[in-house]
Structure 1
Amino acid sequence: MSAPAAPDDTAPEDAMATALRLHRTGRWAQAVAVYDRLLGDPRLEPARAAHAYANRGAALRRLGRPDEAVASCIEAVLRRPDLAEAYANIGAILQENGHPLAALDACSRAGALSPGLYTGYLAMANAHQDCGDHARALTLLQRAATLAPAMPSVRYNLAEALLLHGRFAEGWLAYEARWQAQELALTRPACPKPEWTAQDIAGKTLLVVEEQGFGDTLQFIRLIPLVKARGARRVVVRCRAPLARLLAGMEGVDAVVTALPQPDSYDFWVPLMSLMQRLGVAPDRIQATAPYLRPPQEAVAHWAGTLPATGGLRAGLVWAGDPRLGHAAASRTDSRRSLPLARLAPLLAVEGVSWVSLQKGPAAAQLGQVNGAAIFDPMAEVTDFADTAAIVRQLDLVIGVDTAVVHLAGALGVPVWVLSRFSGCWRWQLDRDDSPWYPTLRLFRQDRPGDWAPAVERVREELLHAVRLSRHDRRPA
């Protein structure tokens, strides 16, 4: 819904207040419309116009319109060369669009003009992460948190940095700010019953509500048996339909629903990704929970014998995530983690591998664009993650980018090799090629932002080795 037209006689200060209210509540398109009308008002003072242009740029950034956002911030700087907020906004836009060094320059300017401005440190931290300097990024995020301890975006970004460094206790506590972090656009479930914050649940029914992506759910559903061990009489999981059939067979899950149940059917509720904090799970307990998923028997029976027979290695492949074009921040992340299937041509040329596509979505159309690639594609008949799990369980190996499928393979205990973007994801931590979450997972990290070739070559070398081992294992004694 667009913002109502402001009366012609609206005072500039009132229009600015309206724009800021819309801006701070995440209604960025409406805020931009009010900023536009305000900036056309001849009564607007130049100093206020500079702030309006800077704020407008910040709103346009959230809408995924970087070129217009930078132009608006430049207009702000032309009117007020000492406006630190405009430089911080420019830094954030440059960082998000793959220019970390230029972002650092802009953020340094913001810091020099206003050492107490937290937004500059936040953008600078993200730029350092993009450059691979995670220690410096954490220091800057801690500085931003000192300046703005209650700001959700700061706490959320600090949480991910702490988790990346394996500092779970602090990280999960700070991660509770995710609901208020506007860039995530999360909607907190409207559950009328009390939230479970680790109080006694013996004999009670707990509703666990999934959140965020499918991969997040597959990763953290492992915690359900630990919840049940606290004495809960029943554990009910609310999830989206594509996960329901698979999660219904999970140990400790008494029921799965795809909509919030009636309040009289449970005593407490908890968001799934709050369980790490509520349970106080230590890192050394994580791997002991895997593998923890298995496909339902009807899915196993349906998919038995449907994959092509092979005397070689049978490997699944997924090369792209959900582009989420309506969510600017998520779309940027996907553009960094996904790659075209053609980039994996060196793998497809390895003899002795029978390839199975695990790719869903628009990227699946690339299957017909790689010459000479023989890839069996069963995904048109896949209806949910139970089907995918039944296919994955028949594979010797899964190779993929950081998507829900690699979490599924890890949860099933199937060997999985993950191509991980340079800036990485907090869940894969630092300086390791294994994972604390999945014993069967190996990481192949980018050496440079956007350059997949060296990582793909390392995967190819390991794949050749796996094929040789497979042939050796098939030789008669």
Structure 2
Amino acid sequence: MTGEADTLYQIGLGEQAAGRLDAAIAWFDAALRARPDFPEALCSGGYILQSRGYAAGALAFYDRALHFDPVYAVAWFNRGGLLLAHGNAEAALSCFDRACASQPEYAGAHCNRGAALYALGRLREAAEAYRQALGLQEDLPEAELNLGNALMRLGRNEEARQAYLRAIVLRSDYALAFCGLGIVAKELGHFDEAMRAFDQSLCLAPDSEEARCNKGCLQLLLGDFAEGWEGYEYRWAEGRRPVPASAARLYLNDAARLAGQKILVVHDHGLGDAIQFFRYVVLLAQAGAEIAFAGPRKLRRLFASSAAPIAWRNEEDLSGNFDAVLAISSLPRACFTRMDTIPSPIPYLRAEPERVALWRERLAGAGLKIGLCWRGNIDFRVDPRRSIPPESLLPLTKLEGISLFSLQKGANEAVPAALAERVRSFAKDFDDGPDAFIDTAALMVKLDLIVTCDTSIAHLAGALGRPVWVALRHVSEWRWMTERMDSPWYPTMRLFRCDDNDDWPALFEDIAVEIRRYFSS
């Protein structure tokens, strides 16, 4: 029966290779009737089920194959790929570990093991797994691409650039590799190379949302708002767009056209983005539009300080009839924003007087006061390199006659003793209620200066009209542009940029010098 089963299985493989999947399944079923304990046929049948979206059935086939052959590397590989595709990276990693252990020369298993490690944020291990795969099979463009992705997240940009270039040599039509090259070239400050790479990626894959978005962000970084906003409309991963793209155009300077317009604005990104672009919501409401804002409940109290007539609703509530429905980050595009027309009605947010009085009392006698924030979102997918290593702030501890305060909620990570001794923290009772930034805003009003990394604290200080200095990497996010020391978004903001090595300690030596000048003038 084994010979018959093998013959039936080989016929099925031929049908599968020809794309005749129904016929392939029929032959695999016939092989399994001849030999029920046939792991290869089970695995092949599971793969077809997986390709057709039947995840549970595919998993059952893989498990049955592994019951009969616990060291069957391909079954472990396929099982891991299915689990990884469904967001279970930890279980997927275990499968790829088993595949690599069963078949150490299996380059694809090492490559996918790297993908699982990457999804778990274990970037150094991911890079090593990709290198192992390439050591086993040099002509593996997917491994080079993924190696580039991991290295870029680790801040090893030139190494990442070389990995993307090797991927392109291996596959000249590799749109994803050109897109990766564009991203890392932008990070290195090679803006012309980045633009060429994005254009090539789009030439190969015109519908690539990743390439469109990243090209748009580069255009915004370089001040080309007319084109940049168009690309920025593709900033969501496929399927995650909170509302459909809108063709609405809103004329902030024409109250007659806005009066009575019913507009639903939907929160779409981080808290900093919401704060930055909430100015448009305020201006539209003040111009006579009927605005409903669907956003996080925790921001409602802060945003209500604008006193704009806005109907609040939860961010999942998109019901009702409106003349326009837009994501909040799409408002600059809808309002025709250009470099010289960025609206800056500063302040457009305000601290609550009762809270300000409370913090005035708590800070009494502190002398000159500086608020500090050095950590933003720690999720590796949100560019943790915007955060500042705490030891880099040590030059600020040498400033005399100045009190330092932490603006970070629950910032319990280890910091140098000299910094911990100088920086006063309010972690126990600081913004501990359901409303975000209420204490932070009030505290900012009583500070003489805010020094922060690129995070929501920077946007809040700018929206409140407080003096704020933002410490940036050499090539920063698009909203801070290039080379500028000021921000057209926030008139009270000053920008400080690292050199091309992102030397944070050197930057804070400079900031400490500027603080002395600031308070002595």
What's the TM-score, normalizing by structure 1? 0.81
Distance in 1 between residues matched to 2:164 and 2:101, nearest whole Å: 29
> Quick check: 1:357–1:376 contact (8 Å CA) kept in 2?
yes
- Structure 1 residue 356 and structure 2 residue 356: aligned? no
SS in 1 for 2:362: coil
Shift of 1:356: 2.7
Specify the alignment match of 2:489 in structure 1. Answer: 437
Rounded Cα–Cα distance in structure 2 between residues aligned with 1:143 and 1:242: 42
Q: Encode CA deviations 1:357-416: one digit per residue, 9 max, x unaligned.
A: 2122334764x8326844443453332312211211122211111121111111111111
Amino acid at match of 1:356: F
Q: Establish whether residue 272 from structure 1 lines up as the match of residue 321 from structure 2.
A: no
Distance 1:134 1:62 in 2: 28
State the match for 1:322 in structure 2. 377
Equivalent residue, structure 1, for 2:312: 256
Aligned to 1:390: 442
1:39 to 1:131, Cα distance in 2 relative to 1, 3 A: same
**For 1:4, what is the secondary structure of its paired residue?**
helix
Cα deviation 1:417-440 (Å, max 9, x = unaligned): 111123311111111111121111
Deviation digits for residues 277-305 of structure 1 (CA, Å, limit 9, x no counterpart): 22221221215333321123343344343
- Give me the whole-angstrom Cα distance separating, in 2, the residues matched to 1:390 and 1:409: 10
Q: Kindly provide the amino acid, as one letter, of the partner of residue 269 in structure 1.
A: V
TM-superposed deviation, 1:123: 2.7
Does the 8 Å contact 2:411/2:427 carry over to 1?
no
What secondary structure, in the 3-state scheme, does the structure 2 residue paired with 1:288 have?
A: coil
Equivalent residue for 1:103? 160
Distance in 1 between residues matched to 2:245 and 2:137, nearest whole Å:
48
Pairwise CA RMSD? 3.5
Query: Greater CA deviation, 194-203 or 152-161?
Result: 194-203
Mapping of residues 48-87 of structure 1, within 5 Å: 50-51=107-108, 53-87=110-144
Distance apart, 1:22 and its partner CA: 6.5
**SS of the residue 1:177 aligns to:** coil
1:425 aligns with 2:477: yes
Residue type of the alignment partner of 2:342: I
Task: Kindly tell me the number of residue pairs found equivalent between the two proteins.
Answer: 449
Q: Does residue 345 of structure 2 align to residue 289 of structure 1?
A: yes
Partner deviation per Cα, 1:148-187 (whole Å, 9 max, x = no partner)? 2222222232222222111222222212222226xxxx94
In 2, distance between residues paired with 1:464 and 1:75? 51
Distance in 2 (alpha carbons) for counterparts of 1:430 and 1:299:
37
Once structures 1 and 2 are overlaid, which stretch shifts more, 400-409 or 12-21?
Answer: 12-21
Is 1:313 aligned to 2:363, yes or no?
Answer: no
Tell whether 2:319 aligns with 1:232.
no
Deviation at 1:222, TM superposition (A): 0.9
Q: Is the alpha carbon distance of 1:345 and 1:56 closer, same or farther for their aligned partners in structure 2, counting shifts above 3 Å?
A: closer
Change (3 A) 1:119 1:432: same
**Cα 1:25–1:117 shift into 2, 3 Å:** farther
Residue 244 of structure 1 and its aligned partner are, at CA, apart by 1.5
In the alignment, the residues of structure 1 paired with residue 420 and residue 137 of structure 2 have an alpha-carbon distance, to the nearest angstrom, of: 59
Report how far residue 221 of structure 1 moved: 0.6
Name 1:151's counterpart in structure 2.
208
Specify the code of the residue in structure 2 equivalent to 1:445: R
Tell me the CA shift for residue 195 of structure 1.
6.6
The one of 412, 415, 429 equivalent to 2:464 is 412
Alignment CA distance shift 1:296-1:50 (3 Å): same
Contact 1:337 1:421 in 2 (8 A): no
Deviations 1:60-87 (A, max 9, x none): 3233233443344344434532222222
Structure with greater Cα Rg: 2
Matched, 1:123 2:180: yes
The amino acid that maps onto 1:381 is D
Question: Equivalent residue of 2:452, what SS?
Answer: strand
The answer to whether the 8 A contact 1:349-1:373 is kept is: no
Assess if the C-alpha contact under 8 Å between 1:215 and 1:408 holds in 2: yes
Partner of 2:192: 135
Letter in 2 for 1:228: A
Equivalent in the alignment of 2:271: 214
**Hey, what's the Cα distance between the residues in 2 that align with 1:302 and 1:347?**
26
Query: Aligned partners of 1:263, 1:293: CA distance in 2, in Å?
Result: 27
Alpha-carbon displacement from aligned partner over 1:193-222 (angstroms, at most 9, x marks no partner): x77531687534322222322111111111
- Alpha-carbon distance between aligned partners in 2 of 1:218 and 1:427, rounded to the nearest angstrom: 13
Counterpart-to-counterpart distance in 2, 1:468 and 1:251: 37
2:235 is paired with a residue whose SS is helix
Matching residue's letter, 1:338? I
Unaligned runs of 5+ in 2: 1-54, 67-71, 251-257
Give the 3 Å change call, closer, same or farther, for CA 289–31 of structure 1 in structure 2.
farther
Cα gap change, 1:369 to 1:13, in 2 (>3 Å): closer
441-450 or 29-38: bigger deviation = 29-38
Q: Within 2, Cα distance between the matches of 1:165 and 1:321?
A: 24
Assess, with a 3 A threshold, how the Cα gap between structure 1 residues 227 and 371 changes in structure 2: closer, same or farther: closer
Counterpart among 226, 238, 255 of residue 169 in structure 1: 226
Give the residue type in structure 2 aligned to 1:125.
G
Identity %: 34
Aligned twin of 1:475: none
The answer to whether the 8 Å contact 1:322/1:361 transfers is no
Question: Residue 96 of structure 2 contacts residue 113 of structure 2 at CA under 8 Å; is this kept in 1?
Answer: yes
**Alpha carbons 1:246, 1:386 under 8 Å: kept:** yes
Task: Work out which structure has the larger RCO, using CA pairs closer than 8 Å and 6 or more positions apart in sequence.
Answer: 1
Question: Any stretches of 5+ residues in structure 1 without a counterpart?
Answer: 470-477
What is the alpha-carbon distance in structure 1 between the residues aligned to residue 395 and residue 127 of structure 2?
A: 39
> 1:273 offset after TM fit, Å?
0.6
